[in-house]
Structure 1
Amino acid sequence: MPTIDLAELAAAANGFVLHFLAAVALSALFGFCYLQITPYAEFKLIRAGKTAPALAFSGAVLGFALALAGAIANSVSFTDMLIWAGVAFFVQTLVFVGVRLAFADLCERIAGDEIGPAVVLAGFSLAAGVLNAACMSY
């Protein structure tokens, strides 16, 4: 039966805790900043039972989380992970700006609870997250 090196186990646990807490904090920061750049009040609309803002916001957060997972899995250090998280943050912000430019009335339609534009935004956000995560390799 193999022996367990407690020092290695403790180091792995510390790395897990550090990365997990950083991921939670970075995700919260991304969510907060994303809410600031959208011209509609997602949480107010979601509390009112609107589906489209919930879908669009969830897609953005999941897209960021996918890219962040890639950064955590492929980074060579904690600092490297933070840099790649910044790239993911930037890319997700660009996705929102790009989709908003492509669909001039995107925000009004999402705020009006139209599902189609929300699905498009969520889809682009998820696609960017997947591609971003895949590109974060050495």
Structure 2
Amino acid sequence: MAGLPAFLLYFVVGSALITGFALVYMRLTAHDEIVLIRAGNLSAAIALGGNLAGFSIPLERAIAQASSIADCVLWALAAMLIQFAAYGLARVLIPDLSKKIQEDRLPSAAMLAVIAVISGTLAAASMTV
């Protein structure tokens, strides 16, 4: 139980970073994920879920290897930038991406999710101490 305070601290910081990522990501998109998901749009859920997973993977690595909270936050910010760049790439590769997600076109959402998870996995693997 000696590690419980550190666990709680990193858990709270990690949760805040995921929330921050989600809020910024949802501001970057041209569609409203929450409204679409509440309306039953599976594409919006897949796209958002893939991006959250794509960020959470390197965040896990950042928490595991961090020497301090500040170190963890810096790695997490780097991972966020990678995810935002991956979203930009997806928008180039998939014309009218937001429109397709609004129309609940699953292939576009699935491809966005795959790009996000691959980017997150690569970012996590690239993190070194």
Give TM-score scaled by structure 1 length. 0.90
1:130 counterpart (115, 121, 124): 121
Question: Structure 2: 5+ residue runs without aligned partners?
Answer: none
Looking at structure 1, the residues matched to 50 and 60 of structure 2 have their Cα atoms a distance apart, in angstroms, of 15
2:62 counterpart (71, 75, 81): 71
1:101 counterpart (81, 92, 106): 92
Quick check: 1:120 aligned with 2:94?
no
Q: Which runs of 4+ in 1 moved over 4 A?
A: none
Number of residue pairs the alignment of both structures matches: 129
Q: What's the CA shift for 1:114?
A: 0.1
2:9 counterpart (18, 37, 54): 18
Looking at structure 1, the residues matched to 122 and 62 of structure 2 have their Cα atoms a distance apart, in angstroms, of 12
Tell me the residue number matched to 2:48: 57
Q: What's the CA shift for 1:27?
A: 0.3
Q: Which has the larger radius of gyration?
A: 1
CA RMSD between the two structures: 0.9
Quick check: 1:36 aligned with 2:27?
yes
Percent identity between matched residues is 33
Question: Structure 1: 5+ residue runs without aligned partners?
Answer: 1-8
Corresponding residue SS for 1:39: coil
Looking at structure 1, the residues matched to 48 and 122 of structure 2 have their Cα atoms a distance apart, in angstroms, of 19
Give TM-score scaled by structure 2 length. 0.96
Tell me the residue number matched to 2:36: 45
Q: What's the CA shift for 1:90?
A: 0.6
